[in-house]
C-alpha cells in the first residue's frame, strides 16, 4: 500500500510497538494522526520523529481509550480536520493485574483492549469506506488461545483472574476482526489482526518479577514486534486479504474458539450495547 499523502490513525503510539509503527508509517509519507492520553508524551514522540524525518507529518489529538466519551470527542476532532482515512491501526493494549474499572464502570482490560477499538472503528467506518481502498489492523495476541468469552461474567465480577481477563480481550480482538471483515465485504476496506510476538514493552510493567525473569529470554524488541503490523499496513500481498490472523507476517490459524460464528455474533451485539453503537 502506497502511503504517500494517505491518512493514518495509530493508537498506543507513544511507546513500544506503536512507537516503532508510527515512525515507519511516517517515513512512508503518510499523514499520521495519533490519539494519545498523555499530550506531553505525544509531543515528545512527534519531536523525535521530526528530528530524524523533518518532512514527517504528525498530528497529536487527545484521547483516553478507557473513556467512551473521550473516544467520541477524538473522532469528532478528527472529522473536523480530516475527510479521509486510509489506515486504522488499533495497536493500544493494556494488561491490568488487578480488577479496575473505567469511568464508564467497565472492567479495564475488556474496555480498553476490546470495547475501545470496537467503538473507535465503528465511528470511523464511514470515513474508511469513503476513502477505500483502506485497511484496519487490530493487534491481538497468541494469549487468545487461553481465552474464552465469559458471557456469563464478561467483566470477571465474581472472581477476577488477570491472565484470563487479558486472554479473553485478545480473543475478542480476533472475533471482532472476523465479524468486521464480513460486514465490510465488497467495500474495499480490509480488516486483519495479528500476534506481534512476546515483545518487551510496558505492557508487562505490572507483571510479578519472577514471571518477568522467566519470560525475559523469550522476548523480542519493539522494532521486531512491529514487523507484522507494518507488513499488513504496507504490503501489496495482503491488498485483498481480510478477516485473517497473522503471526511473523504469515497467516496463521487461530484457536477454534476464535472461529466460532455464534460467539462472534453474540459478542458483536453485546459490544454494540456496551458502546451505544
Residues involved in catalysis? 166
**Angle made by CA atoms 164, 167, 169, in degrees to the nearest 5:** 110
Phi and psi at residue 9, in whole multiples of 5°?
A: -115, 130
Rounded (10°) CA dihedral 94, 99, 102, 108: 30
Task: Report which secondary-structure segment, H or E, holds 144.
Answer: none
d(C-alpha 247, C-alpha 88), whole Å: 19
In eight-state DSSP terms, residue 164 is H
Which three three-digit cell numbers place residue 199? 515483545
Buried b (16+ CB within 10 A) or exposed e, 234-270: beeebeebbbbbbbeeeeeebbebbeeeebbeebbee
Amino acid at each position: 500500500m502506497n502511503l504517500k499523502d494517505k491518512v493514518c490513525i495509530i493508537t498506543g503510539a507513544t511507546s513500544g510497538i506503536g512507537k516503532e509503527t508510527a515512525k515507519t508509517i511516517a517515513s512512508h509519507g503518510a499523514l499520521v494522526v495519533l490519539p494519545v492520553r498523555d499530550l506531553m508524551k505525544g509531543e515528545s514522540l512527534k519531536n523525535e520523529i521530526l528530528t530524524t524525518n523533518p518532512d514527517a507529518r504528525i498530528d497529536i489529538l487527545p484521547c483516553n481509550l478507557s473513556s467512551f466519551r473521550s473516544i467520541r470527542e477524538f473522532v469528532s476532532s478528527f472529522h473536523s480536520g480530516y475527510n479521509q482515512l486510509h489506515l486504522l491501526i488499533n495497536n493500544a493494549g493494556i494488561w491490568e493485574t488487578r480488577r479496575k474499572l473505567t469511568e464508564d464502570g467497565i472492567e479495564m482490560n475488556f474496555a480498553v483492549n476490546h470495547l475501545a477499538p470496537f467503538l473507535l472503528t465503528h465511528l470511523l467506518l464511514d470515513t474508511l469506506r469513503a476513502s477505500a481502498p483502506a485497511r484496519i489492523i487490530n493487534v491481538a495476541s497468541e494469549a487468545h488461545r487461553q481465552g474464552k468469552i465469559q458471557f456469563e461474567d464478561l467483566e470477571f465480577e465474581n472472581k477476577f483472574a488477570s491472565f484470563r481477563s487479558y486472554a479473553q480481550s485478545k480473543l475478542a480482538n480476533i472475533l471482532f476482526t472476523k465479524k468486521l471483515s464480513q460486514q465490510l465485504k465488497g467495500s474495499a476496506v480490509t480488516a486483519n489482526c495479528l500476534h506481534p510476538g512476546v515483545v518487551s514493552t510496558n505492557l508487562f510493567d505490572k507483571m510479578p518479577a519472577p514471571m518477568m525473569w522467566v519470560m525475559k529470554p523469550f522476548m523480542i524488541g519493539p522494532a521486531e514486534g512491529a514487523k507484522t503490523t507494518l507488513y499488513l499496513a504496507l504490503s501489496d500481498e495482503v491488498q485483498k486479504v481480510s478477516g485473517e490472523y497473522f503471526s511473523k507476517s504469515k497467516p496463521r490459524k487461530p484457536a477454534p474458539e476464535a472461529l466460532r460464528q455464534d460467539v462472534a455474533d453474540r459478542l458483536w451485539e453485546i459490544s454494540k450495547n456496551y458502546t451505544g453503537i
